[in-house]
């Protein structure tokens, strides 16, 4: 597919859409997988089905090109095609957040500018991950990035993949930047999360979300605004129920959601990933539901199809396959 200016909303439309980003942003915001036909081609039909499937689960936003979306592994052309398709299809039904992580500041800015014109509501960025960056380098990178953005920016703490965790000093300093509006914490460390929550108390408009779904209920008890949980690709209604019942302190409903979450967690153990989100098995499970292809971008390997029966049995147990 070739993207032309005809595929992208006018800047005036983008400005109106951007103003609708809730502050703080709350709820379940799935980090969408990127459906692929091969290493450098989107599965367009699968992408369209996946977007509608996720939105049908009642989610509160959509995050594309994050870790679960294999953002850093995709070509610039594929990333732009995905952004344009998703923003057009979502059509402001929920906020669209776009991952712009890149070791090149110029590339992050170029992708952010494309996302703004396409109609996204915010951009999300991890620490750069090749050269070691201390606090001074991180502050310089994010202040330089933020000063040239037209969309709000959310920080993304993903130390398992970047090798860097935002210190409290860096977070406190970046909170002084009005356009930086939140942080997604995928450290898996509730002590770290709680420390960030205490720092963020000075910015009531700041959104603080967690990545690991197993920590979502506990994080909400500690003041989280929501979750950016990969399992919501496959079972969006479950993760929405988990968020809503935890936020409402509805213990009965929360217990039911937690029981189903434990079933979903078994999926990730059928063929465990080495480190990071369980992308391959999520894509494979979605392919079993007829939603999208299961191709993964290098260096990730596809899920081993010999485990198909185990995946299908679990999908049946979760009530996700039609009779």
CA dist 228 and 243 (Å) reads 10
Neighbours of 291 (CB within 10 A): 24
- State pLDDT tens for residues 90-114: 999 999 999 999 999 999 999 999 9
In a 13 Å sphere around the CA of 2, the CA atoms on its Cβ side amount to 1
Q: Is pLDDT larger for residue 70 or for residue 14?
A: 70
Is 90 exceeded by the pLDDT of residue 31? yes
Instruction: Work out the average pLDDT over 248-267.
Output: 96
Please compute the mean of the pLDDT values over residues 145-156 and round it to a whole number: 97
Q: Is a pLDDT exceeding 90 seen at residue 321? A: no
pLDDT at 184 over 60: yes
Rounded-to-integer distance, Cα 286 and Cα 63, Å: 17
Q: What is the mean pLDDT of the segment spanning 195-221?
A: 96
Confidence grade of residue 6 (pLDDT, cut at 50, 70, 90)? very low
Q: Residue 277 — pLDDT band, cuts 50, 70, 90?
A: confident
Please name which of 187, 176, 224, 173 lies closest in space to residue 25, comparing C-alpha atoms. Answer: 224
- Asked if 152 and 126 touch (Cβ cutoff 8 Å), the reply is no
Tokens at residue 63, please?
Answer: 């995050």
Supply the DSSP symbol for 131. Answer: S
Confidence of residue 18 (pLDDT cuts 50, 70, 90): very low
- pLDDT at residue number 234: 98
Mean pLDDT lowest for which of 10-14, 111-115, 128-132? 10-14
pLDDT band at 274 (very low <50, low <70, confident <90, very high): low
Task: Using alpha carbons, select from 22, 25, 32, 23 the residue that is nearest to residue 229.
Answer: 32
CA pair distance 133, 263, nearest whole angstrom: 39
The stretch 49-58 carries a mean pLDDT of 98
Per-residue pLDDT at 130: 84
Instruction: Tell me the C-alpha distance between 321 and 316, whole Å.
Output: 6
100: exposed, middle or buried (Cβ count in 10 Å: 0-12, 13-18, 19+): buried
Average confidence (pLDDT) over 168-197: 96
Output 131 or 238, whichever has higher pLDDT.
238
The predicted structure's pLDDT at residue 20: 76
17 pLDDT above the threshold of 50: no
Angle at 280 between CA 75 and CA 31, to 5 degrees: 65
Place of tokens 């991890």: 126
Mean pLDDT of all residues in the chain? 92
DSSP assignment of 1-20: ----GGGS--HHHHHHHHTT
pLDDT higher than 70, residue 151: yes
Per the CB < 8 A criterion, the answer to whether 161 and 126 are in contact is yes
Task: Name residue, tokens 């597919």.
Answer: 1
Question: Where does the pLDDT of residue 323 fall: very low under 50, low under 70, confident under 90, or very high at 90 and above?
Answer: low
Distance CA 190, CA 96 (A): 26
Domains along the chain with CATH numbers: 5-250 (3.20.20.70)
- Looking at the predicted structure, is the pLDDT value of residue 153 above 50? yes
Q: What is the DSSP string of 230-288?
A: GGGGT-HHHHHHHHHHHHTT-HHHHHHHHHHHHHHHHHTTTS--SSS--HHHHHHHHHH
Task: State whether residue 50 is helix, strand or coil.
Answer: helix
């Amino acid at each position: 597919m070739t993207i032309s200016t005809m595929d992208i909303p006018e800047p005036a439309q983008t400005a109106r859409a951007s103003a609708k980003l809730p502050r703080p942003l709350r709820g379940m915001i799935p980090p969408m997988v990127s459906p692929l036909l091969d290493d450098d081609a989107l599965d367009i039909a699968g992408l369209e089905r996946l977007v509608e499937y996720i939105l049908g689960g009642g989610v509160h936003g959509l995050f594309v090109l994050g870790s679960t979306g294999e953002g850093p592994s995709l070509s610039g052309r594929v990333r732009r095609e995905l952004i344009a398709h998703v923003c057009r299809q979502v059509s402001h039904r929920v906020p669209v957040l776009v991952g712009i992580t890149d070791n090149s500041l110029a590339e992050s800015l170029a992708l952010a500018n494309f996302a703004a014109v396409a109609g996204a509501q915010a951009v999300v960025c991890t620490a750069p991950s090749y050269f070691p960056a201390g606090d001074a380098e991180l502050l310089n990178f994010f202040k330089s990035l933020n000063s040239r953005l037209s969309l709000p920016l959310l920080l993304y703490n993903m130390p398992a993949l970047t090798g860097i965790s935002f210190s409290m000093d860096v977070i406190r300093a970046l909170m002084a930047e009005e356009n930086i509006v939140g942080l997604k914490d995928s450290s898996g460390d509730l002590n770290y999360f709680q420390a960030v929550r205490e720092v963020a108390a000075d910015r009531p408009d700041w959104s603080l979300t967690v990545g690991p779904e197993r920590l979502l209920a506990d994080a909400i008890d500690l003041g989280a605004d929501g979750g950016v949980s990969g399992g919501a690709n496959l079972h969006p209604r479950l993760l929405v129920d988990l968020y809503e019942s935890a936020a409402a302190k509805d213990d009965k409903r929360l217990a039911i959601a937690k029981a189903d979450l434990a079933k979903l967690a078994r999926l990730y153990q059928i063929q465990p990933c080495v480190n990071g989100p369980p992308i391959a098995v999520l894509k494979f499970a979605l392919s079993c539901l007829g939603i999208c292809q299961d191709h993964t971008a290098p260096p990730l390997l596809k899920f081993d199809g010999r485990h198909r029966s185990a995946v299908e049995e679990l999908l049946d147990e979760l009530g996700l396959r039609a009779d």
